[in-house]
Amino acid sequence: MLDLAKTAKRALLLALLTLGAGNLALAQTAGAGTWPTQKPIRFIAVFPPGGSVDQVARILAPALQAELKQNVIVENIGGASGVIGTSAMTRSDPDGYTFAVVFDTHGVNPSLKEKLPYDTIKDISPIILVGTSPMVLVASKNSGITSFKQLVDQSKAGKKFSYGSIGIGSLGHLAMARLAKQAGFDWNHIPYRGGGPLMQDVLGGQVELAVGSEFLVKPHIDNKGVIPLVITTAKRSPSLPNVPTISESGFPGFSAPAWWAVLAPGKTPSAIVDAMNKALNKVLKNPAVAEKFKSQGIEIVGGSTETAREFIGKQIGIWGKFVIENNIKETGQ
């Protein structure tokens, strides 16, 4: 009887150990233990092809694919200043196979939009802050404007210029609105659905001025398709050393950097969030990737998920206040 009791206890212990191992395997599958193995990873670029969000996504994707040894596919879902693409990401399964690459509009949308189809805090998990960059105000070659001083002088004399941005509430729009308010200019804002369409029109002379990230406009500056006038960061860009800042051009303290981040659905397991953060940090340290971003004026940030969360939170606060105080609406978008 004693041997039978011992045998039963051993069988029970073995069963419990087997069950525990099975539960561990399930936990790993639900977390990052086997991720990514099931299917390709989808990067939703929340603006149309040709803009900086699209380009950032397409620089990250192949390097991330090599790092994770899993296909990474970029899908453009543009519209509503990034809201449509971000919404598609939040509605996807939080299984670590769908992420969104967003622009600085993500920090403005909560205060600009009457009702977002997602909760910016509960429905989203920031993965990483990719980097920051100056916004650059450029002039069409047909505009007759060749310097920021000339633009300021003519604006003060009463001439009303039109400038394009990637949409109402985009950082470019808000930066120029703040400048116009501070200087007393009367400028007409023309919103576009993305950087690609915006640059097509300024190159073609359909709009006199355009404001976009250095990442977006620098290739056209290099090709002499547009004339750079001024940048929005406090310091000059190493990539555009001859282009003055707004701050040094008569408006001290002016600063409005562009930024890009990678986000995940809010219920994505923390193990996967951390694993993707780790993988993207490695990608951003890849010399080839770093050089591509540097050549386009993006200063890589990287770091922890908390770094991304804190930065985005501050941007929401700063520009949300400006939107509300100046009663900026989406009318006309």
Question: What's the confidence (pLDDT) of residue 13?
Answer: 41
Residue 84: count other Cβ atoms within 10 Å of its Cβ. 15
Q: Give the confidence band of 51 by pLDDT, cuts at 50, 70, 90.
A: confident
Q: Greater confidence, 332 or 37?
A: 37
Please state the pTM of the whole predicted model: 0.80
- Return d(Cα 165, Cα 172) in angstroms, integer: 6
Phi and psi torsions of 42, nearest 5°: -105, 125
Residue 187 pLDDT greater than 50, yes or no: yes
Residue 32 pLDDT greater than 80, yes or no: no
| Mean of per-residue pLDDT scores for the chain | 89
- Return d(Cα 98, Cα 262) in angstroms, integer: 11
Q: Greater confidence, 51 or 288?
A: 288
- Segment 198-203 shows an average pLDDT of 96
* Block residue for tokens 């990067």: 43
- Return d(Cα 117, Cα 162) in angstroms, integer: 32
Question: What's the confidence (pLDDT) of residue 31?
Answer: 52
- Return d(Cα 28, Cα 34) in angstroms, integer: 6
Phi and psi torsions of 216, nearest 5°: -75, -45
Q: Greater confidence, 13 or 247?
A: 247
Which candidate, 127, 122, 141, places its Cα nearest to that of 266?
122
- Return d(Cα 99, Cα 90) in angstroms, integer: 9
Residue 111 pLDDT greater than 70, yes or no: yes
Question: What's the confidence (pLDDT) of residue 50?
Answer: 84
- Return d(Cα 215, Cα 295) in angstroms, integer: 8
- Segment 176-191 shows an average pLDDT of 93
Q: Give the confidence band of 169 by pLDDT, cuts at 50, 70, 90.
A: confident
- Segment 98-118 shows an average pLDDT of 93
Q: Greater confidence, 210 or 16?
A: 210
Residue 83 pLDDT greater than 70, yes or no: yes
Residue 307 burial by Cβ neighbours in a 10 Å radius (0-12, 13-18, 19+): middle
Question: What's the confidence (pLDDT) of residue 151?
Answer: 97
Residue 25 pLDDT greater than 50, yes or no: no
Least confident of 25-29, 116-120, 180-184, 277-281: 25-29
Q: What is the pLDDT of residues 253-310, one digit of tens each?
A: 999 999 999 999 999 999 999 999 999 999 999 999 999 999 888 999 999 999 999 9
Q: Cβ distance 257 to 264 under 8 Å?
A: no
Question: What's the confidence (pLDDT) of residue 10?
Answer: 53
Least confident of 10-24, 92-106, 194-208, 296-310: 10-24
Residue 139: count other Cβ atoms within 10 Å of its Cβ. 24
- Segment 46-69 shows an average pLDDT of 94
Peptide bond into 36 cis (omega under 30): yes
Phi and psi torsions of 35, nearest 5°: -90, 140
* Single-letter residue type at 9: K
Question: What's the confidence (pLDDT) of residue 33?
Answer: 64
Rounded to 5°, the CA angle 69-266-40 comes to 25
Residue % of the chain over a pLDDT of 90 = 74
Q: How many residues does the chain have?
A: 333
What is the CA 32 to chain-centroid distance, rounded? 25
- Return d(Cα 161, Cα 158) in angstroms, integer: 9
